[in-house]
Amino acid sequence: MDSKNEFKPYIPAEKITPELTATSVIMGILLAVIFGAANAYLGLRVGMTVSASIPAAVIAMGVIRVIMRKNSILESNIVQTVGSAGESLAAGAIFTLPALYLWAKEIEGFEKPGLMEITVIALLGGLLGVFFMIPLRNALIVREHGVLPYPEGQACAEVLLAGEEGGSSAKTVFAGMGFAALFKFIIDGLKIVPGEVSVEGSTKTYPGAIGTQIYPAVMSVGYICGPKISSYMLAGGILSWLILIPLIVIFGSSIIMYPQTEATIGELFATGGAGAIWGSYVRYIGAGALAAGGIISLVKSLPLIIRTFRDAIKGLSQGGAGVSNRTTQDISMKIVLLAILVLTLLVWLVPAIPVSLVGAFIVVIFGFFFATVSSRMVGLVGSSNNPVSGMAIATLLIATLILKLTGETGASGMRAAIAIGSIICIVAAIAGDTSQDLKTGYLLGATPKKQQIGEIIGVVAAAFAIGATLNLLDTAWGFGTDELAAPQATLMKMVIEGIMGGELPWSLIFIGVAIAVVVEILGIPVLPFAIGVYLPVQLNACIMVGGLVRLAMDRLKDEDKRKNATNNGVLFCSGMIAGEGLVGILLAVLAVFGVGEMIDLSGKLNLSSAVSSIGALVLFALIVLILVKFSLGKKIKK
């Protein structure tokens, strides 16, 4: 409590400045929809999402302060609060809901999800995530100020404070958006060069494969995550593509393993290459490693979870009490409890989630439990390392077993399981985002109640947009394809199918589990390594390039130059992720209307594979050089 009394925010509690204005709400809604769509595209491609709080804050700062010439830092804070909700809701949704689209293609009579079904599931999960976080604010944000750093929340506050002296940060983000949009259009729109360069051996030489993608957004993920996380992912990819695949081909070329097909492993490799072996066998090993990694992360966090849960229960009795000034105002606890009760009843009544009233309460209890986990985890390690997918897997295992034991099997049981998992996944993602935003507001001196209203607005806007985004992407390319691998959703689908029908290749899954256990024993972070095992090595290699650029910036000897290079690079990469994601959505629209084939120049140019590959590598080198230039560019004012 002493730290609470001593802390003085940037805007004093007694000072009243514009916050929840029409300008901030409209801008926030636009960014929630834009970043939600962009992050959905990125997550479905690479299996990872990034926080939109900082780029949203920078854009808000640039528009409100530079263009509109208004000096209102708390107004900019509301913009990023509303805007970042879209990214988090999209992250929770894409990890689970695409499984429904995959089943619609594979199972006869399984209906594709409608817009209303997706919207309702996303809305229920998002609102529960916000309302669960309100009683947690006092326990985690206020009382543990100085204990839980909330890295993205602090970084976002620093960006907004930097904007008080200039808008160079906003220019960096917009530049990244522009460059990535151009490169994405060249690669996937005009298709002048391929998006991937690979070298693959044969059974006579070495039946493995290595290569890299050349997409700016994928490389940006590596820069933002840093060299360590990138190297763990690449190590997982090397294990899959340069060790496991060659071993399977060399020692099992004449046999038929799972799935039971007429082709032997050797014939499968001859027709489909290393990618076919990865899709039929190694992907299941990666799924086992990923599932085990998520569960290990949760088990390791149990002491933290129990302590946070206990503090949250204590905070419930004190939330809203003793409110003396603007910076301590939350939404009334009566409203919060009533909202949670209504949402619980809706979980029971919504046809897309066929659970009993008791089941609905179980879903909500799990949701609050994982909201506390999520908020505490992002407070310590940041949103990027929040094991949302691990929480979703744990929920799916329990929910699917309960549904099967109660006789809810088949298509309806599978749909119910994924709906429950989606709600929990979205709850965890939104709770983590809300806690980061509330930390930013706490440092700046924002009104918590207005931020919480902003979160609700952002969730509602993003929930209505996510269904249209998923339908558009599925119509354009389809989930589970090379363009949109949807790795987490495919994993969730496999988990449910394995429990419901017993068709999962458990031997391969357990090999992945064993690999995850060994990696954990060695002290290597298991989740990024497991993601690397699960994803194509070309994607991991591209992420590693971004990590190497970040490593070079981190090695600069001059401290001020190093900090500015890192900050500039993160802002530029945030812009590149947003820019590529937006063009990805644009290309999806063009593909739906048949324009994509008209602008495709690959057939007209008729370049050889060697020339195309060289051109792709030259373009990739140009992207890297531009990132380095902007990282070492203008100094951000303090």
Helix (H, G, I), strand (E, B) or coil at 200: strand
The number of distinct structural domains making up the chain is: 1
Q: Count of CB atoms within 10 A of residue 270's CB?
A: 16
Tell me the whole-structure pTM to 2 decimals. Answer: 0.73
How far is Cα 145 from Cα 255, in angstroms, rounded to an integer?
A: 60
For residue 397, CA distances in Å to 34, 461, 508 come to 33, 31, 18
Q: What is the pLDDT of residues 372-387, one digit of tens each?
A: 778 877 776 556 556 5
Asked if residue 481 is part of any domain, the answer here is no
Residue 101 falls inside a structural domain:
yes
Q: What is the pLDDT of residue 164?
A: 63
The confidence band for 637, taking pLDDT boundaries of 50, 70 and 90, is: very low
Give a yes or no: residue 507 inside a domain: no
Question: Is 50 part of a structural domain of the chain?
Answer: yes
CA distances from 604 to 176, 180, 190, 191, 616 (A): 30, 24, 11, 10, 17
- Is residue 356 in a domain? yes
Examine residue 83 and state whether it is found in any structural domain, yes or no.
Answer: yes
The span from the CA of 173 to the CA of 194, in Å, is: 26
CA distances (Å), origin 118, targets 122, 527, 563: 6, 28, 42
Considering the domain boundaries, does residue 244 fall inside one? no
Domain annotation covers residue 430: yes
Backbone phi, psi, residue 602, to 5°: -60, -40
User: How much is the average pLDDT of 27-49?
Assistant: 82
Q: What mean pLDDT do residues 330-351 have?
A: 90
The per-residue pLDDT for range 196-223, each reduced to its tens digit, is 999 888 877 889 899 999 999 889 888 8
Question: How confident is the model over 471-510, as pLDDT tens digits?
Answer: 888 888 888 887 788 877 887 887 888 778 766 677 888 8
Residue 439 domain boundaries: 2-176+323-388+409-474
Nearest to 312 by CA among 233, 392, 367: 367
pLDDT one-digit tens code per residue, 603-635 = 777 788 888 899 999 999 999 999 999 998 765
Predicted local confidence at residue 3, as pLDDT: 43
